[in-house]
Chain A
Amino acid sequence: MVSRTTDDYIKMVTAGCAAVCEPAFWAGFDRSSAQGFYDYFCQLTEHEPKRAAKFGLPHFTWLCINPKESEDVKLAEDVLAIIPQFLDKPNVLGIGEIGLNKNSRNELKVLEMHVDLAARHNQLILVHTPHLEDKLKGTKLIIDVLKNDKRIQPERCIIDHVEEHTAKLAHDAGFWAGMTLYPETKCTAARAIDILEYYGTDRIWMNSACDWGISVPLAVPYAALEMRKRGYSADWIDKVVYQNPIAFMKQSPRFNLPES
């Protein structure tokens, strides 16, 4: 949400959103030093929760150096060194969004460093899978990394941005799967519902993107409307858009929502 205006917070609260969960993300440009990430992590753990709270919206976050900035291994090492001091902040749910972007050797090395960090600190993991033509291969490489680290419990990891060709890979390996709804890339609401019809509603959720590019913060509420058009019950919709995310994130002791 750091790239969005307060209008988006107002719309989200009005649409019934109960919380916002913001992963550490690429800024649209490369940060020049670990100090830049220190400031960003302060923004995610101190300033943004206060901004969201003004609109009655609990704010949670995930910390990492995004795969788009993982080609520079030395920078990644410096950034990973400062993450532990933020892990006890009250809105931090885990390590994310880690993963791969172009499926390079250095990206893979930095992914393994993040997985090790998460394992050592018993953190949940949120995984970004690559875009477009790189997604299939990247998803397979990521699953291999996670499965090869025997400290990692698949049910404490969510592999995000799955589509029709990768949802089964993540799900069959025991991970949670996330479908990110975008107007142009990744997944539309209608396709996300199709994927639910193929693979069921266990260990799967959908999320809106709120980044600096073309994205729709209300994509999940719009998807709920699409589900109603498709004839799904209120309980079915509630499980997919609300209960499932809670079930996953409740694995972090810091994920608590105020009584409604």
Chain B
Amino acid sequence: MNKQQLMDLYFLDARARLIDIAAFLDRIERAEGTEDFRMVAFRKAVGVLSAGNKQKAREVLMSFSDPTDKPIEKAHSKGACGAWPGEVKS
């Protein structure tokens, strides 16, 4: 598909998702309290969108990922929260 066809197919959906992200940021900033590591990672990932990289989805995923390469001592939970909190001492 060419750019025109892809825009015809996906523009409105992407526009809606972008507005959702903007509204999410507004919602967070209106609320009381402090942001944690997840929002630090989120804002960094948003920055990827306006960079010149040709694989933005990959770069966004990389920015949320644990960059270390050694197994952790013990799994203290089963879930993932979506962003790497940094090194956690066991």
Report A's interface with B, CB cutoff 8 A: 26, 68, 71, 101-108, 130-137, 140-141, 163-165, 190-191, 194, 198, 229-231
* A198→B9 CA distance, assembly (Å): 19
> Does A165 lie within 8 Å of B65, measured CB to CB?
yes
Q: Does B1 contact A (CB under 8 A)?
A: yes
Using Cβ atoms and an 8 Å threshold, which residues of chain B touch A132? 64, 80-83
Interface residues of B in 1-55 (CB under 8 A from A): 1, 5, 9-10, 55
A172 CB to nearest chain B CB (Å): 14
Using Cβ atoms and an 8 Å threshold, which residues of chain A touch B72? 102-105
> Does B57 lie within 8 Å of A194, measured CB to CB?
yes
> Does B69 lie within 8 Å of A140, measured CB to CB?
yes
Q: Provided the pairs A130-B80, A132-B80, A231-B1 are in contact, do residues A104 and B58 lie with their beta carbons within 8 angstroms?
A: no
A190 CB to nearest chain B CB (Å): 7
Interface of B is mostly: loop
Q: Provided the pairs A132-B82, A164-B55 are in contact, do residues A104 and B61 lie with their beta carbons within 8 angstroms?
A: no
B71-85 contact mask (Cβ, 8 Å, vs A): 1 or 0: 111111111111110
> Does A133 lie within 8 Å of B84, measured CB to CB?
yes
Chain B interface size band reads 20 to 34
Q: Provided the pairs A132-B64, A137-B69 are in contact, do residues A101 and B75 lie with their beta carbons within 8 angstroms?
A: yes
Q: Provided the pairs A137-B66, A164-B61, A165-B65 are in contact, do residues A101 and B78 lie with their beta carbons within 8 angstroms?
A: yes
Given contacts A102-B77, A105-B74, A134-B65, 15 further A-B contacts (CB under 8 A): A26-B78, A102-B80, A104-B72, A107-B75, A108-B71, A130-B80, A131-B80, A133-B64, A136-B67, A137-B65, A140-B69, A141-B71, A163-B61, A229-B9, A231-B1
Please name 16 pairs of A and B residues whose Cβ atoms are closer than 8 Å in the assembled complex, sorted by A. Answer: A26-B78, A101-B78, A102-B78, A103-B66, A104-B73, A105-B71, A131-B80, A133-B82, A133-B84, A137-B68, A164-B57, A164-B61, A165-B58, A165-B62, A229-B9, A230-B9
Q: Which of B57, B73, B84 contacts A191 (CB 8 A)?
A: B57
Report B's interface with A, CB cutoff 8 A: 1, 5, 9-10, 55, 57-58, 61-62, 64-69, 71-84
Interface of A is mostly: helix
Using Cβ atoms and an 8 Å threshold, which residues of chain A touch B67? 136-137
* A164→B64 CA distance, assembly (Å): 13
A257 CB to nearest chain B CB (Å): 33
Q: Name the CB-closest residue of A to B65.
A: A136
Using Cβ atoms and an 8 Å threshold, which residues of chain A touch B1? 230-231
Q: Name the CB-closest residue of B to A69.
A: B78
> Does B71 lie within 8 Å of A104, measured CB to CB?
yes
* A243→B87 CA distance, assembly (Å): 43
Q: Provided the pairs A163-B61, A165-B58, A231-B1 are in contact, do residues A104 and B75 lie with their beta carbons within 8 angstroms?
A: yes
Using Cβ atoms and an 8 Å threshold, which residues of chain A touch B64? 132-133
Q: Which 7 A-B pairs have the closest CB atoms?
A: A102-B75, A132-B80, A136-B65, A131-B80, A164-B58, A104-B75, A165-B61
